[in-house]
């Protein structure tokens, strides 16, 4: 973690670490940094369901696959997804039957 959060008191971006605390040089506020749990992203599918690792989803629109002449069809079931911080807005890592491992956008799937 090399990016410190801004000061919660005055929103100054010039915070620095002092031992276990973060310190704001502008208003002298000191606080304990959050554990990072608050930064956990919530990934939602096309209709707003919250997705989790291990979920099974279906694809809600035809998807072109790079390097393949066929596309993933609507309704294709994808088992055991994994949420990732992928390339672009791809946030699901999975293996699609007949296509192999790939990353999908959560906006094109629906939880089963
Ligand atoms: Zn401050």
Asked whether 58 and 77 are in contact (CB, 8 A), the reply is: yes
Report how far ligand 1's centroid is from the alpha carbon of 11 (Å). 6
pLDDT tens per residue across span 38-48: 456 789 999 99
Question: pTM score, two decimals?
Answer: 0.63
Rounded-to-integer distance, Cα 99 and Cα 102, Å = 8
pLDDT tens per residue across span 64-88: 988 888 899 999 999 999 999 888 8
Report how far ligand 1's centroid is from the alpha carbon of 37 (Å). 22
Residues constituting the chain: 112
pLDDT above 80 for 96: yes
Asked whether 103 and 93 are in contact (CB, 8 A), the reply is: yes
Contacts (Cβ under 8 Å, ≥6 apart) of 65: 71, 72, 99, 102
Report how far ligand 1's centroid is from the alpha carbon of 39 (Å). 21
- Quote the percentage of the chain above a pLDDT of 90: 72
Rounded-to-integer distance, Cα 110 and Cα 28, Å = 48
Report how far ligand 1's centroid is from the alpha carbon of 104 (Å). 40
pLDDT above 60 for 29: yes
Report how far ligand 1's centroid is from the alpha carbon of 18 (Å). 14
Residue the block writes with tokens 């099974």: 56
Report how far ligand 1's centroid is from the alpha carbon of 38 (Å). 20
**Tokens found for residue 69:** 């002449």
């Amino acid at each position: 973690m090399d990016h410190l959060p801004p000061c919660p008191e005055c929103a100054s971006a010039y915070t620095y670490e002092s031992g276990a605390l973060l310190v704001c040089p502008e208003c002298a506020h000191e606080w304990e940094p959050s554990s990072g749990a608050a930064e956990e992203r919530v990934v939602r599918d096309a209709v707003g369901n919250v997705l989790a690792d291990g979920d099974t989803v279906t694809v809600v629109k035809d998807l072109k696959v790079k390097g393949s002449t066929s596309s993933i069809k609507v309704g294709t079931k994808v088992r055991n997804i994994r949420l990732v911080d992928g390339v672009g807005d791809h946030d699901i890592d999975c293996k699609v039957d007949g296509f192999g491992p790939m990353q999908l956008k959560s906006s094109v799937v629906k939880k089963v």
